[in-house]
Chain A
């Protein structure tokens, strides 16, 4: 059967629905405002030993309470810290997110005509941020050394090194960072591993000067052999499940996790039409299901593609405009220029981590695997018109079987109950003639329509029932003999 693509629907909104917040570091609040860190987004660029990490900022609360601590392997120079436009995250998310594809069946009883192609843009996210006043950093000697101090964009940034965790904890507390009690045990290993601490606060004056209504993402860049994301600190103030989306860019190919399993999210599945309005919920349920199936300790691959400017085909189908030079530059992919440059490979990973299943920080490696992948779900609109020709009737029969499979697959993928499924499967059964309807009931036997068919079914059942006692009695007679 011939299919034609009509509209592509993306959901980026679902990811915001997956509950939002914290990344590598943890948010520390001065007030007792409850800060829930449940989803974060990271852009990772790796080229040789050069790593660029961009951290999105979904902070919800008063700006003066915003603070962030991220362990970094080296002391960063001022030119290695930037703020970037939040839009780059939305663009990358929209582009690489799981997609719902629509196909339209053609009526076999009618002539073929062309359809238009259309795309529905990604849902924009709204952000509300409160503005308040920030406090300055105070300096105390507790074995804590301020290696560097910068103001970048609306942020006051410190690079700290520490001799021991209790000193660092005291210093942070005295300087107005509320450290979760469980953070100390994680600070110790980072200090001993010679890691530095990238500490961020909002400079309110600068923030008021800026035109932006929300906090901009921070980007850091450094040269180090280690290619990892420290997630343990982020667990300190949120013991529950946290989601993290990683958009990774390399020259060679896919990025994969080296200390956890990287698993592909189920893809290319046919799903029923009624899923469309709740596609976000569908993907959430699908992810939950996959996450549980993999014992809650896997990293999921959601997208992998060569997105080089010179590569014309970047998705099948595309759900948004592909990242262009501007986005690449913003993300820290510095090897792209207006005429292309070296290849860019885009990997999107989705990890849901908890303290008990993810004891180690995430370690990554760049592989030369350039195989394409995308989370893609297909729904098919049935043909319209009359189905009075023979091919039309066969089509309805196939449609019913296909829909049954779609529902089965949906239940298997999401764990949803198939409550409204019956009506969906049998939507067209009244347009089938009797012969076809029977075929659906008894796919292997062709029954005559009307009362004759009913009689045959009755006789068949009767014969089956009669057969059983007959065999039993013959057996008992034999044993008596």
Chain B
């Protein structure tokens, strides 16, 4: 009887270790569930080939890159997270663009570096470059719809990941700043009803960006204060881009522009370096 119990607790420990030992496991599970949710509940196209091509190109680029620079072998998980991000956000009319997005995203991690850290959020870089370089790639901000259930789903998932990673300050600074700005303009200045505002803020793409893209611990500033300033800056920029330049995917562009500033913040404001797998002290 005791043997059975100890075996069970061993199994639980392993499961516990697997899920909680590395925040990326969390992210992988959640992002995959969003993809499944999109396909089965939101009527997305089941583009298995596209997802596979993105995953393979990301992981291969990661493995090749890691081999060259001698990086951690566990980094393929990060590559897979990037692949899921690309699968969820970037659409293209040709499969080679999907492959290109993976190579560009992960490639940027090894080439565009400063002070031992990569500059751009890989998925963000892949998306922007594909849109700029080819005229056959796009982001569909409307694909998630705006349903309350979605907010709940995202919120719960995101919170769990963020509490593990400890970058919830970034998300909150971004979303609250953006909300304050949009509320001021849309509701108080222009005079639209609150439902117009809430419609924008229940958009799945915005939530995905807020909780999963902008929070990437490696490309956000190390100091908490710096992170808050940086994330608020992204909010201001996306507000301007969306309100006056009618860019529907404004946050993605804002993050791309803001990414290089992380290095400056890291120079001027000190903070702890992030490690995916907690280091024993």
Per-position 1/0 for B187-209, Cβ under 8 A of A? 00111110110111001000000
B93→A370 contact, CB < 8 A: yes
Residue of A nearest to B249 (CB): A258
Cβ of B136: which chain A residues have Cβ within 8 Å of it?
368
Per-position 1/0 for B58-89, Cβ under 8 A of A? 00000000000000000000000000000000
Given contacts A258-B248, A261-B145, A360-B199, contact A185 B193 (CB under 8 A): yes
Per-position 1/0 for A84-102, Cβ under 8 A of B? 0000000000000000000
Given contacts A226-B246, A259-B142, contact A189 B91 (CB under 8 A): no
Cβ of B143: which chain A residues have Cβ within 8 Å of it?
261-262
B278 within 8 A of A: no
Residue of A nearest to B148 (CB): A295
A369→B190 contact, CB < 8 A: no
| Chain B nearest CB, measured from A236 CB (Å) | 13
The complex places the Cα of A225 from the Cα of B242 at a distance, in Å, of: 11
Per-position 1/0 for A355-372, Cβ under 8 A of B? 010011001010111110
Stretch from A110-118, A249-257, A399-407, A423-431 at the B interface:
A249-257
Q: Report, as a range, how many residues of chain A touch the other chain.
A: 35 or more
Residue of B nearest to A295 (CB): B147
A259→B147 contact, CB < 8 A: no
The complex places the Cα of A369 from the Cα of B135 at a distance, in Å, of: 11
- For A165, A264, A359, the residue with the greatest tally of chain B CB atoms inside 10 Å of its CB is A359
A326 within 8 A of B: no
Give the residues from 4 to 47 in chain B that come closer than 8 angstroms, CB to CB, to chain A.
Answer: 42-43
The complex places the Cα of A359 from the Cα of B203 at a distance, in Å, of: 13
Cβ of B184: which chain A residues have Cβ within 8 Å of it?
none
B142→A188 contact, CB < 8 A: no
The complex places the Cα of A478 from the Cα of B104 at a distance, in Å, of: 71
Contact of A365 among B138, B190, B195, B200 (CB under 8 A): B138
Given contacts A192-B191, A359-B193, contact A256 B142 (CB under 8 A): yes
Contact of A225 among B43, B147, B193, B245 (CB under 8 A): B245
Residue of B nearest to A257 (CB): B142
Per-position 1/0 for B126-152, Cβ under 8 A of A? 000000000111101111111100000
Residue of A nearest to B204 (CB): A261
A192→B135 contact, CB < 8 A: no
Contact of B93 among A253, A256, A295, A363 (CB under 8 A): A253
A297 within 8 A of B: yes
Q: Is the interface of A mostly helix, strand, loop or mixed?
A: loop
Given contacts A258-B248, A363-B248, A369-B91, contact A192 B141 (CB under 8 A): no
Q: Report, as a range, how many residues of chain B touch the other chain.
A: 20 to 34
The complex places the Cα of A247 from the Cα of B267 at a distance, in Å, of: 54
Give the residues from 259 to 295 in chain A that come closer than 8 angstroms, CB to CB, to chain B.
Answer: 259-264, 294-295
Cβ of B140: which chain A residues have Cβ within 8 Å of it?
256, 258, 262, 367
Given contacts A185-B193, A359-B193, contact A258 B141 (CB under 8 A): yes
Contact of B144 among A261, A359, A371 (CB under 8 A): A261
Give the residues from 152 to 207 in chain B that come closer than 8 angstroms, CB to CB, to chain A.
Answer: 189-193, 195-196, 198-200, 203
A188→B190 contact, CB < 8 A: yes
A193 within 8 A of B: yes
A360→B191 contact, CB < 8 A: no
Cβ of B200: which chain A residues have Cβ within 8 Å of it?
259, 360
B42→A189 contact, CB < 8 A: no
| Chain B nearest CB, measured from A366 CB (Å) | 9
A144 within 8 A of B: no
Per-position 1/0 for A128-165, Cβ under 8 A of B? 00000000000000000000000000000000000001
- For B142, B189, B191, B198, the residue with the greatest tally of chain A CB atoms inside 10 Å of its CB is B142
| Chain B nearest CB, measured from A109 CB (Å) | 40
The complex places the Cα of A188 from the Cα of B144 at a distance, in Å, of: 29
The complex places the Cα of A193 from the Cα of B185 at a distance, in Å, of: 10
Cβ of B91: which chain A residues have Cβ within 8 Å of it?
367, 369
A72 within 8 A of B: no
A360→B245 contact, CB < 8 A: no
A298 within 8 A of B: yes
The complex places the Cα of A335 from the Cα of B21 at a distance, in Å, of: 59
A359→B93 contact, CB < 8 A: no
Cβ of B43: which chain A residues have Cβ within 8 Å of it?
261, 263-264, 294
The complex places the Cα of A367 from the Cα of B135 at a distance, in Å, of: 9
| Chain B nearest CB, measured from A449 CB (Å) | 45
Cβ of A188: which chain B residues have Cβ within 8 Å of it?
190-191
Residue of B nearest to A363 (CB): B248
Cβ of B190: which chain A residues have Cβ within 8 Å of it?
188-189, 192-193
Cβ of A260: which chain B residues have Cβ within 8 Å of it?
142, 145-146
Residue of B nearest to A260 (CB): B142
The complex places the Cα of A452 from the Cα of B93 at a distance, in Å, of: 62
Residue of A nearest to B189 (CB): A192
| Chain A nearest CB, measured from B97 CB (Å) | 9
| Chain B nearest CB, measured from A166 CB (Å) | 12
Given contacts A188-B190, A193-B190, A368-B135, contact A259 B203 (CB under 8 A): yes
Cβ of A298: which chain B residues have Cβ within 8 Å of it?
145
A297→B93 contact, CB < 8 A: no
Residue of A nearest to B149 (CB): A295
Residue of A nearest to B134 (CB): A368
Cβ of B196: which chain A residues have Cβ within 8 Å of it?
359-360
B246→A359 contact, CB < 8 A: no
Cβ of A365: which chain B residues have Cβ within 8 Å of it?
138, 248
Residue of A nearest to B141 (CB): A258
B93→A261 contact, CB < 8 A: no
Give the residues from 341 to 385 in chain A that come closer than 8 angstroms, CB to CB, to chain B.
Answer: 356, 359-360, 363, 365, 367-371
Cβ of B192: which chain A residues have Cβ within 8 Å of it?
189, 359
Contact of A261 among B42, B92, B189 (CB under 8 A): B42
Given contacts A257-B142, A295-B147, A359-B199, contact A225 B191 (CB under 8 A): no
The complex places the Cα of A260 from the Cα of B193 at a distance, in Å, of: 18
| Chain B nearest CB, measured from A241 CB (Å) | 17
Cβ of B144: which chain A residues have Cβ within 8 Å of it?
261
Cβ of A226: which chain B residues have Cβ within 8 Å of it?
246
Per-position 1/0 for A227-263, Cβ under 8 A of B? 1000000000000000000000000110011111111
Given A294-B43, A368-B137, 8 more pairs with CB closer than 8 A: A188-B191, A227-B246, A252-B135, A259-B141, A261-B144, A262-B142, A367-B91, A370-B93
- Residues in chain A within 8 A of chain B (CB atoms): 165, 185, 188-189, 192-193, 225-227, 252-253, 256-264, 294-295, 297-299, 356, 359-360, 363, 365, 367-371
**3 tightest A-B CB contacts, nearest first:** A261-B145, A188-B191, A359-B195
- Residues in chain B within 8 A of chain A (CB atoms): 42-43, 91-93, 135-138, 140-147, 189-193, 195-196, 198-200, 203, 245-246, 248
11 A-B pairs within 8 Å (CB atoms) are namely A189-B192, A193-B190, A225-B245, A258-B248, A259-B141, A259-B248, A260-B142, A261-B42, A356-B195, A367-B93, A369-B93
